[in-house]
A and B are shown apart, each in its own frame.
Chain A
Amino acid sequence: MNAKSLFLATACLLASACSEPVDHRQGVYMLLDTSGTYTQELNKAQSIMNYVLAKLDSADVFAVARIDTASFSEKDIIAKVSFDEQPSRANQQKRVFLEHINHFVNSVRSSTYTDITGGVLQGVEFLREAGTGTKTILIFSDMKEEIPEGYVRDVPLDLEGIEVVALNVTKLRGDNIDPREYAGRLEAWKSKVEQAGGRWRVINDLERLEAIIQE
Chain B
Amino acid sequence: MSPESWFLIFPGAPGFSIAVLVVLAMVSLYLARMPVHQAIRSATRALRNGMRLTARSLELLEQRLVSRNREVLLSAGREAAERVMEREFERIEVAVNRDLSDYPALHRRLSAAIQRIEEDYQSHVESPQAPEDWVHAVDAIAKIPSSRDTMARVLKDIQASIERDQVTALAEYRKATNLRHRVLSRAMPHWRHLVKGIDSVNAALNRLLDRSRSIDRYMEEYRSIVRGDERAERALSSSSLTQFFIAGLVLAIAVGGALVNFHLIARPLQEMVGGSAYIAGFKVSQVAALVIILMEIAMGLFFMEAMRVTRLFPVIAALDDRLRVRMGWAAFVLLFILAGVEAGLAYMREVLAQDDAALIAQLAGTGTAVTSQQWITSAAQMGMGFILPFALTFVAIPLESFIHAARTVFGVVAVLGLRALAFLFRLGGNICHHLGMLLVQLYDILAFAPLGVEKLIATRGAGRKSAPSVKAAEV
Q: Which residues of A contact B (CB under 8 A)?
A: 13, 16-17, 19, 21-22, 24-25, 50-51, 53-54, 57-60, 85-88, 90-91, 94-95, 98
Q: Are A94 and B278 in contact (CB under 8 A)?
A: no
State the CA gap A94–B274 with chains docked (Å).
17
Q: Are A54 and B360 in contact (CB under 8 A)?
A: yes
Within 8 A of A (CB), among B306-352: 352
Shortest distance between the CB of B209 and any CB in chain A (Å): 48
Q: Are A59 and B275 in contact (CB under 8 A)?
A: yes
Q: Are A86 and B362 in contact (CB under 8 A)?
A: no
Which residue in A16, A19, A25 is a CB contact (below 8 Å) of B276?
A25
State the CA gap A13–B276 with chains docked (Å).
21
Tally the A-B contacts, defined by beta carbons under 8 Å. Answer: 57
A-contact 0/1 string along B340-377, CB 8 Å cutoff: 00000000000010011001101111000000000000
Q: Are A91 and B355 in contact (CB under 8 A)?
A: yes
Within 8 A of A (CB), among B131-176: none
Shortest distance between the CB of A188 and any CB in chain B (Å): 34
State the CA gap A16–B276 with chains docked (Å).
18
State the CA gap A58–B360 with chains docked (Å).
15
Q: Are B274 and A59 in contact (CB under 8 A)?
A: yes
Interface check B452, CB cutoff 8 A: no
State the CA gap A23–B363 with chains docked (Å).
27
Q: Are B276 and A88 in contact (CB under 8 A)?
A: no
Interface check B271, CB cutoff 8 A: yes
Q: Are B271 and A86 in contact (CB under 8 A)?
A: yes
**A residues in contact with B360, CB < 8 Å:** 54
Show 24 residue pairs from A and B whose CB-CB distance is below 8 angstroms, ordered by the A residue: A17-B280, A19-B280, A22-B278, A25-B276, A50-B364, A50-B365, A53-B363, A58-B270, A58-B275, A59-B275, A59-B276, A85-B275, A85-B277, A86-B270, A86-B271, A87-B352, A88-B271, A88-B352, A88-B355, A90-B275, A91-B356, A94-B359, A95-B359, A98-B363
Shortest distance between the CB of A136 and any CB in chain B (Å): 17
Shortest distance between the CB of B422 and any CB in chain A (Å): 21
Q: Are A57 and B275 in contact (CB under 8 A)?
A: yes
Nearest residue (CB) in A for B275 is A58
Which residue in B267, B271, B274, B278 is a CB contact (below 8 Å) of A21?
B278
Q: Are B276 and A17 in contact (CB under 8 A)?
A: no
Q: Are A24 and B359 in contact (CB under 8 A)?
A: no
Nearest residue (CB) in A for B356 is A91
**A residues in contact with B280, CB < 8 Å:** 13, 16-17, 19
Which residue in A17, A51, A90 is a CB contact (below 8 Å) of B279?
A17
Nearest residue (CB) in A for B365 is A50
Nearest residue (CB) in B for A94 is B359
